[in-house]
Structures are given as structure tokens and as C-alpha cells.
A and B are shown apart, each in its own frame.
Chain A
Amino acid sequence: DVVMTQSPLSLPVTLGQPASISCRSSQSLVHSDGNTYLNWFQQRPGQSPRRLIYKVSNRDSGVPDRFSGSGSGTDFTLKISRVEAEDVGVYYCMQSTHWSLTFGGGTKVEIK
């Protein structure tokens, strides 16, 4: 299986400041069809996960534009331009290029 490694595990952030989460895969996530199937999910406390980003950099409907995704190959980043209180939670990257799908271990974003 493809191993997804996130860092940091915990990310204390001041409100209004930027935040950045790294995700690395053990193999290239470029599919034979040319797409890179790297997704980002947010899980707020006590809630179901919610997809924020698909195919590296595409925001899902209703996702604020302060969230952005970037990267290629094996290295990917989720950035929050200005953290708000509602952004507290755990963020997961997930690859769906290779069978089976695999998630990163998660990064907990909290307010300082």
C-alpha cells in the first residue's frame, strides 16, 4: 500500500495567521490517466469528515478560498491563508491513485 505521511502532527496557530500542512506519499501519485488523485479532508470535533480539496488543488463546492492545495508527484501541501476559529480540527490527506486508498495520519489544527 502507498504510505501517506503528514507533518506536523499538531499545529497551533494564531487566529488570522497562515497555516501549512505537508503530506508525502511513498510512491508517485500520478495516475496513468495523467491525473493526480490527492485529496484533503477536514474533520471538525464530533463531526464526519468533509472533503476540501480533490485532485491536488480543486476546492469542493462551498469551501472557503482561504484553503488551497498544491504539490506534485509525492509532495503535497494544504495551506490556510488566514486561520479562523471554525478551522479547528484534524486534517487528512488521502490518495486515490493506487489501490487501495490510503489516508495520512492526520494533523490537528488548534488555536494558540
Chain B
Amino acid sequence: RVVQSGAEVKKPGASVKVSCKASGYNFTGYYMHWVRQAPGQGLEWMGWINPNSGDTNYAQQFQDRVTMTRDTSISTAYMELSRLRSDDTAVYYCASSMDVWGQGTTVTVSS
């Protein structure tokens, strides 16, 4: 399973870092994806990280604002989004190999 960090409230222009801790499987064996869902909207893929190598692949619309990292010693992946805007308000999910999903982390961006 994967367990995500708790809800966050941020001001426009700030950054947020969401964590995703894996357990019960080989963390480094499966890509970790990040997907977000704005209120009442569909799913949007943000990118993935290969926990083994640290290689990343970001969706073009997030290229200049997102950073995905991992700490293999604690089987945890991180997604940091910078220069937050109000339209970044969403539930952010991590999903190991698109198969095992976290519970979601609500990020609210408001002044």
C-alpha cells in the first residue's frame, strides 16, 4: 500500500511537497506516478519517477514547476509543486505502477 501526507493549505506563489510512503512491496521495482484531480474534474497525469534510478518524466504542462524525488531508505516518494496558483487546488494522488493508489492529498491554494 501507499500512504500519503496530510492536507495542505498554501498561498499563491508558495510551494507544496507531498509525500507517498510505500510498504508491503518492492518500492524500487515500480514507477511511482503522480496524478491530480481538481474539484469536480477528471484525472490529470503529472509525471513519474523511477524509484530505482531516480529518473523522472514530467508532463509538459508541469515541466517547469514540478520536481519528483525519492528516498529509497524509507521507501518514500515526493512530489513538489512550486509557484502555486489557485487552479492548482486539487487532490494529488501517487500511484505505484498505476496499480496501487494512495488515499490522496488535498492541496488548497488560497490567499
Please judge, given known A-B contacts A96-B98, A100-B45, A106-B42, whether A48 and B103 are in contact too, CB under 8 Å.
Answer: yes
Q: Which B residue sits closest to A39, measured CB to CB? A: B98
* Cβ contacts under 8 Å, B95 to chain A: 49
Tell me the bound Cα distance from A60 to B6 in angstroms.
Answer: 28
Q: Are B43 and A49 in touch, CB under 8 angstroms? A: yes
Q: Are A100 and B59 in touch, CB under 8 angstroms? A: yes
Please judge, given known A-B contacts A39-B98, A51-B98, A51-B99, whether A100 and B60 are in contact too, CB under 8 Å.
Answer: yes
Please judge, given known A-B contacts A48-B93, A48-B103, whether A103 and B98 are in contact too, CB under 8 Å.
Answer: no
Is A105 an interface residue when CB atoms closer than 8 A count as contact?
yes
Q: Which B residue sits closest to A101, measured CB to CB? A: B45
Is B110 an interface residue when CB atoms closer than 8 A count as contact?
no
Please judge, given known A-B contacts A39-B98, A60-B99, whether A48 and B45 are in contact too, CB under 8 Å.
Answer: no
Size class of the contact patch on chain B:
10 to 19
Chain A nearest CB: distance from B62 CB in Å?
Answer: 9
Scan residues 43-73 of chain B and give those whose CB is less than 8 A from a CB of chain A.
43-45, 47, 57, 59-60
Please judge, given known A-B contacts A48-B93, A48-B104, whether A94 and B43 are in contact too, CB under 8 Å.
Answer: yes
Scan residues 64-112 of chain A and give those whose CB is less than 8 A from a CB of chain B.
90, 92, 94, 96, 99-106
Known: A48-B103, A101-B59, A105-B42. 20 other contacts (CB 8 A): A48-B102, A48-B104, A49-B95, A50-B101, A51-B99, A54-B98, A60-B99, A90-B42, A92-B42, A94-B45, A94-B98, A99-B57, A100-B47, A101-B33, A102-B45, A103-B42, A103-B43, A103-B44, A103-B45, A106-B43
